[in-house]
């Protein structure tokens, strides 16, 4: 998916999951959560092109990452 689709889908999921509890903040947090895996494109800034291509859609799209990040965010609260 492209980044815009990930943001919109994340916002929709956030609204569906927590919209009644936290209101419009659910849209924001969902959008942030939806785009976090795509932040691996920033690796292009500090990596060689071939390394960045190999890293893109790698660790940030893994099951481990998708479990650890929300868990870490809950602990940080």
9: tokens are 């889908």
Say if residues 40 and 57 touch (Cβ distance below 8 Å): yes
pLDDT tens-place string over residues 2-33: 889 999 999 999 999 999 999 999 999 999 98
Q: Where are the domains of the chain?
A: 3-76
Angle ∠(47,53,58) on CA atoms, nearest 5: 100
Place of tokens 């932040």: 39
Instruction: Tell me which DSSP letter residue 62 carries.
Output: S
CA-CA-CA-CA torsion sign (39, 45, 46, 47): positive
pLDDT of residue 42: 79
> Which tokens hold the place of 41?
């494109």
Whether the predicted model's global pTM rises above the 0.85 cut: no
């Amino acid at each position: 998916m492209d980044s815009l689709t990930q943001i919109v889908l994340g916002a929709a999921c956030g609204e569906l999951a927590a919209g009644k509890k936290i209101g419009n903040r659910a849209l924001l947090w969902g959008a942030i959560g939806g785009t976090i895996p795509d932040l691996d494109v920033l690796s292009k800034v500090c990596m060689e092109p071939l390394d960045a291509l190999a890293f893109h859609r790698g660790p940030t799209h893994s099951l481990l990452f998708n479990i650890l990040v929300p868990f870490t965010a809950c602990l940080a609260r």
